[in-house]
Structures are given as C-alpha cells and as structure tokens.
Chains A and B, each alone.
Chain A
Amino acid sequence: MLPMRPELLKGHLDALLLAVLEPGPQHGYAVIEALRTGSDGALDLPTGTVYPALHRLERAGLIASDWQTVGGRRRRAYHLTPAGQRALGEQRAVWDQFATAVTTILGRGAWPATT
C-alpha cells in the first residue's frame, strides 16, 4: 500500500493518535510503529509529525505522560486521560458520519449530466 502524505491526515491525526493509545500506554516510537503496522504501511508518518502532535495532545490534556528509566535510558510513555477517552469517542462518531457521507458520494459513480 502506498504511504499517505502527512498533510492528507490534517484534522484526523489527533483521533488516530488517541486510538493508538486506547489499548494502553505507549512510547513515541511505538506509536509511530503502531500506526504503520496497523495500516499496512499506509500511515508511515515521520517523527517530526508524530512527536510534536503527541506533545500538543498532552498540552490539551487529552493524553498524559510518565517518565521511566529503562536500561539506563529515560523513556516517556503516553496514556489517554479521561478527557482523551471522551474526545476519542466524539471523534469516532464524527468520522463515522464523515466517512459515510464521502463514501455515499464517491461510491455513486459518475454523476448524470444535467442538460
């Protein structure tokens, strides 16, 4: 599958990151890997897109992070907050509505001529 350009995901990245963190805490690189493997390589997002987006979500209070020391290295693990869990539910509903509408239009085939 062809990788998607990050700008195509504008507006949906927050929901994707929240969804990846829903099963449990993950560190930044694991989030990148989860997006890539979970989408069969379509969502192969660069570091410069994912890490700052995680920081922004933390600023908004939708996720929180904890620092751990593993093998002498500091590691930051992110997890959903209750507000993040609610936001994910709302964004899922919005996406369902959006996807249904777009699929209806795009799946209709060629529009008949009006004249």
Chain B
Amino acid sequence: MAGDHVSTGPAEAQLDAYLSDLAARLRGPRRRRERILAELRDGLDHAVTGHTTVGLPADRAVTAAVTQFGTPQGVADAFAGELATAYARRTIAWYIAAGPLVGIWWLLLLQPHPWRTGVLALLTAIPILPLVIIAIATAAGTFATTGRGMRWLPEASPLRALSATFAVAVLALVGDLTVIAVYTLSDSPMRPLAILAITASLTRIACSLVTIRHAAAMRRAIATTLDVSTTRADHNARR
C-alpha cells in the first residue's frame, strides 16, 4: 500500500526520532541492524495508517503507533538475541572460511617428513591439530544448531552461540601463537613460506583479539537483558 507512507513533517520527525533512538541501542552486525530498522519503519507506517483510518489525527496516530511498538529499549532488548546469534554465525563463518587460508601455509611448512607417517608423526609436526579439530567441531555444531539444523537438533541459545564464538576465537588465538612460537624457537630458516604463514597467523591473531572482546561484551549485555526480561516476566505473572 503506497498510502502507508507517512509524509507529514512532524509525524515523520517523530518516527525518525524513535528509530534513531532504537538504532543507538541495537548491537550487532550493521547490515542486520539496518534491515531491522527498515522493516520496523515499514511496520510503523502501517500502524500509523491503521490509526488514521479509524479517525485519529496524524500526530496522535504516530504517538499511538510508537506506543504500540514499545519503548526503544524494549524493542532493542527483544532483538538482542537475534542480533547476537547473527553476529555469532557471521563470525564463525569467517573463521571457517579463514581457517584453510591460514592453515595451508603452516601445513606446507610443518608437514612431517614423507617417510614419517601416522597420527603421532602428524601430531609431533603440527602440535595444534587437536585444537583445530575442537575448533572445527565447535564451529560446525554452533552453525548447525543456530541455522537449518535446529529443525532436528536442539537449538543453541544466543548465549551459547556467543560462548562458542568466544571459544573458537580463543582456540584460534592459542593455535596461532603456538605455531608461531614452535617455528621461531625451532631455529628453522625464515623462508618466504614461513613469513607468509606467520603474517597470516598474525592477521588472524588481531581478528581473534577483537572477536574475544566483542563476544565477551555482547555476552554480558545479553545476560543482563535476559535477567531484566525474566524479572519482568515474573512480575507480570504475579500480577
């Protein structure tokens, strides 16, 4: 309905102010936040049209629509879980994609001698292999239980998804620091391949430090939001 477009000046300004307030309270991937705001803007326009259709003047219709949608903090809290899950999925997808790009150089550099075969030889040459396996399993499990896999598997909560993101970032950080330390302490020559591998790991270390900080902050924020929601639900149930 093209007629749902709210075009009067003060009404438009009130809706813009509401959405700006909400935008300042949303935390998560930028594109996801923009899409939420665009969707809510369209919904608010529909609500305003609904109120004007039953006879409310434009300014009161906008106030009624904004009241109906809830306070910016309440709406931001309601979207916090979805935004946290979107952040976790995006970050884990990045680690899944970046893993081979970093790992390939270390694999070429540290691969065991051709005559030494077996798991033990591989573990001696690449000691972080167990960390890699745990990180891949955590990432794959979280990706599945926050996406289509949750139709068959138990759904991962936003808190669990953030914890998994934190864990994957820590495992990547420990893995990168370990391989750099092992190589530099082994007195091996600094070949171009080694420089490439160390540069790739240093880049991922920087990303992991940022991820650890973001995931921990988001986890604290979500835990606080859940506490407030639970208290509010308990309060409503007692009324």
Partner-B contacts on A (CB < 8 A): 5, 7, 27-30, 32-33, 46-49, 51-52, 55-56, 59-62, 70-76, 83, 87
Contact = CB atoms under 8 A, between A and B. Distances in A.
B2 A29 contact: no
B43 A47 contact: yes
Dominant secondary structure at the B interface: helix
Interface of B: 1-5, 35-36, 38-43, 45-47, 50, 68-70, 74-75, 77-79, 81-82, 85, 146-148, 150-151, 233, 236-237
B175 to A, nearest CB: 29
A92 B97 CA distance: 40
Nearest to A54: B39
Given A60-B150, A61-B151, A87-B151, A51 B40 contact: yes
Dominant secondary structure at the A interface: helix
Nearest to A55: B82
Given A52-B79, A75-B42, A59 B146 contact: yes
Contacts of A87: 151
Contacts of A29: 42-43, 46-47
A5 B1 CA distance: 31
